[in-house]
């Protein structure tokens, strides 16, 4: 089995791993208490230090952007970090409520 690196755990946490590696990381995490400890460390470190979209999401859980924020997202206007969050919320989380809201806004704009 190939060694699991910190970077792989980080990517795993952020859903950025290719499927093949994802499977081996999951398997390794199930099998190794040491690796689980390392994973916790990576998660804690990231939550403490960084404000990535993934970290924010894990901390705040899924919080839906407001309609104004969705409108801003449609126009590509606003805080880049917020736009990134909205995109993550829509595409990665796939929030049906916000998708519907966004569709609605899109239609409203065409009128």
Q: Which residues bind Zn ion (CB under 5 A)?
A: 64, 95, 97-98
How far apart (Å, rounded) are the C-alpha atoms in residues 69 and 62?
15
Nearest-approach distance from CB 89 to Zn ion, in angstroms = 5
Residue among 58, 3, 51 at smallest CA distance from 25: 3
Instruction: Return the number of the residue (28 or 98) whose C-beta is nearest Zn ion.
Output: 98
Helices in 1-111 by DSSP H: which ranges? 6-13, 19-31, 33-49, 53-60, 67-75, 80-87, 96-110
Nearest-approach distance from CB 78 to Zn ion, in angstroms = 16
Nearest-approach distance from CB 104 to Zn ion, in angstroms = 13
Instruction: Return the number of the residue (97 or 109) whose C-beta is nearest Zn ion.
Output: 97
DSSP 8-state secondary structure symbol assigned to residue 92: I
82, 72 in Cβ contact below 8 A? Answer: yes
Nearest-approach distance from CB 69 to Zn ion, in angstroms = 10
Instruction: Return the number of the residue (39 or 85) whose C-beta is nearest Zn ion.
Output: 85
Instruction: Return the number of the residue (10 or 98) whose C-beta is nearest Zn ion.
Output: 98
């Amino acid at each position: 089995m190939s060694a699991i690196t910190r970077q792989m755990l980080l990517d795993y946490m952020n859903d950025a791993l290719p499927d093949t590696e994802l499977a081996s990381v999951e398997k390794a995490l199930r099998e190794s208490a040491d690796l689980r400890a390392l994973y916790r460390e990576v998660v804690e470190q990231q939550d403490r230090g960084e404000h990535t979209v993934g970290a924010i999401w894990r901390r705040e859980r899924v919080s839906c952007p407001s309609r104004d924020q969705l409108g801003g997202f449609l126009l590509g206007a606003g805080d880049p970090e917020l736009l990134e969050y909205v995109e993550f919320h829509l595409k990665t989380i796939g929030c049906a409520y916000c998708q519907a809201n966004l569709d609605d806004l899109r239609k409203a704009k065409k009128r």
